[in-house]
Amino acid sequence: MKKKIFIYDTTLRDGAQAEGVSFSPSGKLRLAERLDEFGVDYIEGGYAGSNRKDMEFFHQAADLGLKHARIVAFGSTRRKGKNIKDDPFVSSLIAAPTETVTIYGKSWLLHVHEVLRATPRQNIEMVRDTIAFLKDHGRQVFFDAEHFFDGFKDSPEYAQQVLSAAVEAGADCLVLCDTNGGTMPHEINEITSKVCCAFDVPIGIHVHNDCGMAVANSIEAVRAGAVQVQGTINGYGERCGNANLCTIVPNLQIKLGYNCVKKSELRHLRELALFVDDLVNCRPDIRAPFIGHSAFSHKGGPHVNAVQKNPSTFEHIDPANVGNERHVLVSELSGGSNVLLKAIEVGIGRDESVRGKSDILAALKDLEHRGYAFESADGSFRILVQKVLKKHKSFFDLDGFRVIIEKRGKDEPCISEATVKVRVNGEIEQTVAEGDGPVNALDGALRKALFRFYPSISNVQLTDFRVRILDPEEATAATTRVLIESTDGDDTWGTVGVSGNIIEASWEALFDSVEYKLFRDEEKRQSKSRKKKKK
């Protein structure tokens, strides 16, 4: 194992600057605890003095009892013309109960002249005074050299003078920032190498993703000698985002052999990424390297056949190393291996072969030809296989449904009402429900009708509803595909429906969603029963 690379997470500060991202006070504390559990070394909690929420976080985080990570307060150098003791933002850094603080200062003459409206000497004095003041108050100080790479390319002498002033004042780490995100990897490597040779203090890297190079730039900086990497979970951040730690950490640790976090914790990487997405109410990137749902998905028949024989043929690592898993997609491109592995994945067959494999494949391709898609519809795929294998158990039958949409005036909202009539074990149940729209009303009516027989469906929630017009040239007569994602809090599954009528397509997907839930409940009961008999 190579040297230790310190992971510095700034999701709670830089990540919160992303469009549409915001953390509640309790959410900030929950994320700090999860980052600590994962093994992050430093957690930048916010901008000291900029707002009340961040200052409250610093005090509350002191009582979390974190086992590994250090909470870091973020701020800037003193203002031009301000006495260090009179600068409220510097005072806030002292007021924050953190052992470590990070301050940023200018290292690009363009910013010194155009933004600070200061002389180069005044800027250097601001850096030196602030770091020395913080060190006098017993803080570990990291210096973020803002716009360092642009500054170095403009005037390498001045950029390094700023770093020298920081070191002379006692900075514990020099963090080189590509704040505009426009530097190329080879430039990062070259410039970082020069800095590492010039200074006998730890060097860090903080880059943005405006050219899509943030991960590559971070890795090149480490290869050049940097020992601290700053970034955010899932790459959240202003503009195009920050360096994505969910990609950087496994690359450094698995591919390059650096020591970032414990191997046992790396297996929770996907879980952490999904936790943050959920916390900020953003949909996960299914194609994200390492942790995305599609990162280890296989669709082409020859690919699936090869993976079945040896996973390393089309997988660069074991998905379990980062808490992910293999997914086999089934479509018109599928071969027998797809069907076999997909059936095993959804829990239908555990043997080396599945009976009726060719029949399943034929039924699948016929439905795909009619517009169905099972790549994101594991629930519907399972039901299809059960029917082909003659193992399908019907939990309820539909006698009929009706949907009414009424608008009582141009300024009045539409009212949707659905009536559903089902038959369960010979008993008829007919219910009515209103909803925000026709599908919501249908969902409500179906649950009301089945609740007396299957109370567990009250736990099911629809988490996503997607509509695709398959032949738009047919205009209003086009065939519609509806994909629904559902969850009961423990499992998540997808179902699909296709029809020339969007309501009927939605009903098909709803029907499969409920049936899949009931299948899963039945399996769990049977599993518990078998375990009791063995005892």
Q: What is the DSSP letter of 238?
A: S
CA-to-CA dists, residue 469 to 33, 349, 440, 473, 499, angstroms: 44, 34, 20, 10, 10
State residue 337 phi and psi, 5-degree precision.
Answer: -65, -40
Query: Is residue 238 within 8 Å of residue 16, measured between CB atoms?
Result: no
> What pLDDT is stored for residue 219 in this prediction?
98
What's the full length of the chain, in residues? 535
CA-to-CA dists, residue 480 to 332, 373, 392, 466, angstroms: 18, 12, 26, 10
Q: Where are the domains of the chain?
A: 6-261
> What pLDDT is stored for residue 361 in this prediction?
73
In the CATH hierarchy, which fold is given to the domain comprising 6-261?
A: TIM Barrel (3.20.20)
Backbone dihedral region of 61: left (phi > 0), alpha (psi from -120 to 50 degrees) or beta?
alpha
Query: In this predicted model, what pLDDT tens digit does every residue of 383-436 receive, in sequence order?
Result: 888 787 777 788 999 999 999 999 888 888 888 999 999 999 999 999 999 998
Q: If you write DSSP's letter for every residue of 62-127 in order, what string do you get?
A: TTS--SS-EEEEEEEPPPTT--GGG-HHHHHHHHS--SEEEEEEE--HHHHHHTS---HHHHHHHH
What distance in Å separates the CA atoms of residue 503 and residue 507, rounded to the nearest whole number? 6
> What pLDDT is stored for residue 494 in this prediction?
87
Q: Which of 78-82, 127-131, 165-169, 246-250 has the lowest mean pLDDT?
A: 78-82
Q: How many CB atoms lie within 10 A of CB 521?
A: 16
- Closest to 276 measured CA to CA, from 511, 41, 16: 16
User: Measured over all CA atoms, what is the biggest interatomic distance in the chain, rounded to whole angstroms?
Assistant: 88
Alpha helix positions (H), 105-184: 109-114, 120-136, 148-154, 156-169
Average pLDDT over residues 20-32: 91
Model confidence band, residue 352 (pLDDT cutoffs 50, 70, 90):
very low
Assigned token pair, 88: 């409220």
pLDDT at 251 over 50: yes
State residue 61 phi and psi, 5-degree precision.
Answer: -65, -25
> What pLDDT is stored for residue 479 in this prediction?
84
Please classify residue 477 by burial: count the beta carbons closer than 10 Å to its beta carbon, then call 0-12 exposed, 13-18 middle and 19+ buried. Answer: exposed
Three-class secondary structure of residue 411 per DSSP: coil
Query: In this predicted model, what pLDDT tens digit does every residue of 469-515 receive, in sequence order?
Result: 877 666 666 788 898 988 888 888 889 999 989 999 999 999 999 99
Q: How many CB atoms lie within 10 A of CB 62?
A: 13
Q: β-strands 427-435, 415-424: how paired?
A: antiparallel
Count each helix (H run) and each strand (E run) in the chain, helices first: 18, 16
> What pLDDT is stored for residue 315 in this prediction?
83
pLDDT at 380 over 90: no
Percent of the chain with pLDDT over 90: 63
Counting Cα atoms < 13 Å in the Cβ hemisphere of 529 gives 6
> What pLDDT is stored for residue 362 in this prediction?
78
Taking the whole predicted model, whether its pTM rises above 0.85 is answered as no
Query: In this predicted model, what pLDDT tens digit does every residue of 429-460 receive, in sequence order?
Result: 999 999 989 999 999 999 999 999 999 998 88
Model confidence band, residue 217 (pLDDT cutoffs 50, 70, 90):
very high
Q: Spell out the residues 6+ positions from residue 306 whose beta carbon is closer than 8 angstroms to its own.
A: 313, 314
